[in-house]
Chains A and B, each alone.
Chain A
Amino acid sequence: MIEVRPPSAKGAARRAAGSAWAERPVDLALRCVSKRFGGVTAVSDCLLDVHRGEILALLGPSGCGKTTLLNIVAGFEDPDAGTVELRGRALNEVPPNRRETGMVFQHYALFPHMTVRGNIAYGLSARRRPRHEINDQVDDAIALLKLDGLGERYPSELSGGQKQRVAVARALAVRPQVLLLDEAFSALDKNLREEMQIELSLLLRRLGITTILVTHDQREAFAVADRIAVMEHGRIVQVGTPSEVYLAPRSSFVLEFLGSVNLLAGMIRGRADGQVAQTASGISFRPQPPVEAPDGAAVRIYVRAEDVALSRSPTAVHAAGPGTVLLVTFLGPVRRVVIDLGGQQVLAERPAGETGDFGAGERVFVDFRPGSAHVLRDS
């Protein structure tokens, strides 16, 4: 088969390069997929390769089009433009019931009138598999998701975690080529959610099933996914491993969406020993890598809350000056300290032991960790 790809597909392939996933075959390919609802663009020109066995998270705030994109893959929505390919086969004309995808819905959408077994068997019955084969595969799925003894229960008799397991078992029972998880953890309590995230990541890796996970929760994306595609206003703005996206964010949106950041307004100053971004109060940062901007250009300087160090004495090299502690909040492993730094509010997250004795009203010296600043040109 000769594959004709639009020129922009090369860009997508290049973007995927650099991570180990690029060497695996592409299971699911989105090519310039777009979708509009009336006057609203839900998904715009999305390019994405999902490799075999990879867990990819579509991460973004609500309304960014991530669920629409998932629905396009599942076939519940038709794209206005672009193609979806699953293992080299174009899916555009394939109705949703003929696509080999398995979906776990946000609220699981278990059939309330069927038992756990009935729910898991549904996809197999729809494929008209022989009865003994259905029974075997349902048994397998029940064992896999640790649902032993719950086979004859109705969904209303299950806990939230059990419901999620049934939903996953039902989606996996048909042996889909790609598994789609739509905010599949959001209905669970925090502890259970983290437990299920670990369990499901382990299970999906063991099965080696290609997975797309839609979530608005950065922690969830980091916990489960191999790679993350960050979405904003219907566009995929960055794709990479969690650490790539976190450490080398390509836009202010990605920066602000992942973790807590401080935003400082600054200006580019060319100096003999290299480029410097300086805030109005005189704090200087060295952009790494350098920003393509002339002298005097306005820039945004971002420093993550965990890269802000606090001390009682002005010993640090990069000291930003003295400030006043406004508020200290206990967040378990870290404490969040809000500081007034010459009229600018600065957020610092420090390990609990380190800042245990800071109190509101105290004077502290603020230090931005060298090399921690992300400098982006103001648009």
Chain B
Amino acid sequence: MAAGARFARAVRRAGPWLWLLPAMTVLVPFFLLPVAVLLRNSVYRDDPGALIVPDFVATNYLRIITDPYYADVFVNTLMVAFGVSFAALMIGYPFAYYLVRWAGRSRPFLLWAVYTPLIVSVIVRVFGWMVITADSGLINTALLSMGVIERPVRLLYEVAGMVIGLTHRYLPLMVLPLVNSMAKIDRALLAASVGLGAGAARTQLYVVLPLSIPGAVAGFQLVFAGVLSDFVLPNLMGTTRFRMLAPTIYDEAVANLSWATSAAMAIVMLLLVVAMLVCTNLALRRFAPWARTL
């Protein structure tokens, strides 16, 4: 009886934590543990004979930062991540604004168009983009027949093609937070702005734009992190002359069997994402202190 009561009390106290159990059973062994192993490997030494040797050295990190080959990979990837995030913002912002402000009956259709890329497998979509961007693809055929160009412009297996693919892949992650933050803007605020003497442009610039910044930041974070670690698009649509991070890590680990080097690169990639999140959140707190309490 007493034991039963004590057990019941223990369950009651542990109750709230039990809700975390399903997630923890997956996250701890399959995510936290591998990251810990990566962290450990990144300070080990690669060895031609023994694959990887226990040690505690910084040489892996030093090499990937100082060696131009690896440094280029990081620079390339960061450039593409910034570029794609920016492109997604430029495309996504007006789209989201139209969706929220003007789209009436076409709204479900437009939302569906946003969601589709999330539903369809990325491989299927890449093949679609290949058909469009290939030398004999839709874009080139059209431009050739219109006489705009004389020879096909190389898009596929070039940076351009990869960026097109990446932008399409991550656009929904930009649009959805933007739509969310714009939809939250009270119509009365727009009326208030106009009623106080502001024209449409001023209202847009001083009311709508600042209030959609939290959505833009959230979208930027999602797209940036996604592009930084994307493996499929650089592999299928990019070029080996412009190396990206995720495929390089894969090659190091699987082709070169440099587990320590690839581990260090993976950790740096993780740190880059964390640094980006911290920086953008600090910037948001500094320049939009109202956003947290909204």
Residues in chain A within 8 A of chain B (CB atoms): 74-76, 95-98, 101-103, 105-107, 109-114, 122-123, 126-127, 154-157, 170-171, 174
Contacts and interface: CB of A to CB of B under 8 A. Distances in A.
B186 interface: yes
Contacts of B192: 103, 105, 109-111
30 contacts: A74-B191, A74-B195, A96-B191, A97-B194, A97-B196, A97-B197, A102-B196, A103-B191, A103-B192, A103-B195, A107-B186, A107-B188, A109-B186, A109-B191, A110-B192, A111-B193, A111-B207, A113-B210, A122-B193, A122-B196, A122-B206, A123-B198, A126-B193, A126-B196, A126-B199, A126-B202, A155-B290, A170-B196, A171-B196, A174-B197
A219 B211 CA distance: 37
B188 A174 contact: no
A107 B192 CA distance: 11
B197 A156 contact: no
Contacts of B191: 74, 76, 96, 103, 105, 109
A227 B60 CA distance: 83
Contacts of B23: none
Nearest to A154: B290
A123 B196 contact: yes
Main secondary structure of the interface of B (DSSP, over half): helix
Given A107-B188, A109-B188, A109-B189, A156 B293 contact: yes
B79 interface: no
B290 A126 contact: no
Contact of A123 (B186, B188, B197, B210): B197
Contact of B194 (A96, A105, A112): A96
Contacts of B288: 113
Interface string B11-31: 000000000000000000000
A297 to B, nearest CB: 49
A160 B94 CA distance: 35
A157 B292 CA distance: 12
A368 to B, nearest CB: 47
B294 A156 contact: yes
B246 to A, nearest CB: 37
Contacts of B195: 74-76, 96-97, 101-103
Give the size range of B's interface with the partner: 20 to 34
Contacts of B189: 109, 111
Contact of A156 (B186, B202, B211, B290): B290
Nearest to B197: A126
B248 to A, nearest CB: 42
A218 B289 CA distance: 41
Nearest to A76: B191
B240 to A, nearest CB: 46
Nearest to B202: A126
B293 A157 contact: yes
Nearest to B210: A113
Contacts of B290: 112-114, 154-156
Contacts of A155: 290
Interface in B29-87: none
Contacts of B207: 111
Nearest to B206: A122
| 5 shortest interchain CB distances as A-B pairs | A123-B196, A109-B188, A126-B197, A109-B192, A126-B198
A244 B191 CA distance: 35
Contacts of A171: 196
A376 B169 CA distance: 73
A157 to B, nearest CB: 7
B199 to A, nearest CB: 6
A159 to B, nearest CB: 14
A226 B136 CA distance: 79
A95 B198 CA distance: 11
A258 B188 CA distance: 30
Nearest to A118: B206
B68 to A, nearest CB: 45
Interface string B244-282: 000000000000000000000000000000000000000
Nearest to A96: B194
B198 A113 contact: no
Contacts of B206: 122
Nearest to A74: B195
Contacts of B188: 105-107, 109
A122 B194 CA distance: 10
A38 to B, nearest CB: 15
A107 to B, nearest CB: 7
A182 to B, nearest CB: 9
A107 B187 CA distance: 11
Contact of B198 (A74, A97, A109, A114): A97
Nearest to A114: B290
B211 A112 contact: yes
B196 A113 contact: no
A156 to B, nearest CB: 4
B283 to A, nearest CB: 15
Contacts of A114: 290
B290 to A, nearest CB: 5
